[in-house]
Structure 1
């Protein structure tokens, strides 16, 4: 799966990592719904760090279609709310 972190680039990530990322996505959604800004910041950072550590960066000149687009690290609660689908930021487990 190709994942884009806005403002950073793309990474290739094995589908086997989606269930772990979904747990962070669920936590992020709960914090957003509760207006927990501190928790939101912490979980967004953990989600992006997990993608960075588990994924393999694609070359900057690569133009692969992204199957998943994640917000930039400095995204606001409102920015992320606009990106949400019914499944959150990350689709249900495969």
Structure 2
């Protein structure tokens, strides 16, 4: 699976990582629904950190269609309310 972090680049993620990311994504959806901005920020940064740390960064010359697009690190809680709903950014 190819994941794009907006403004940062693309990463190839193995299936096991995608399952882990889906759990974090579901937690983010719940935190946003609860209005918990502080914990949202922690989990959102964890999501990005997992992608960067466990995914394989693709070179700039290798541009592939992204399966998942992750908002940039500076995403506000207000912006997150429009994005992290339902299934979030990673569909179950």
TM-score (norm 1): 0.88
Describe how 1:52-67 pairs up with structure 2 within 5 A.
52-67=52-67
Give me the CA root mean square deviation: 1.4
What is the CA–CA distance in structure 1 between the aligned matches of 2:61 and 2:80, rounded to whole Å? 27
Any unmatched runs of 5+ in structure 1? none
What is the CA–CA distance in structure 2 between the aligned matches of 1:80 and 1:61, rounded to whole Å? 30
* 8 Å contact kept, 2:29–2:86: no
What is the CA–CA distance in structure 1 between the aligned matches of 2:61 and 2:81, rounded to whole Å? 30
Aligned positions, number: 92
Residue 36 of structure 2: aligned partner: 36
Cα drift, residue 21 of structure 1: 1.1
Cα drift, residue 76 of structure 1: 1.2
What is the CA–CA distance in structure 2 between the aligned matches of 1:63 and 1:21, rounded to whole Å? 22
What is the CA–CA distance in structure 2 between the aligned matches of 1:83 and 1:31, rounded to whole Å? 12
| Segments of 4+ moved more than 4 angstroms | none
Cα drift, residue 77 of structure 1: 2.2
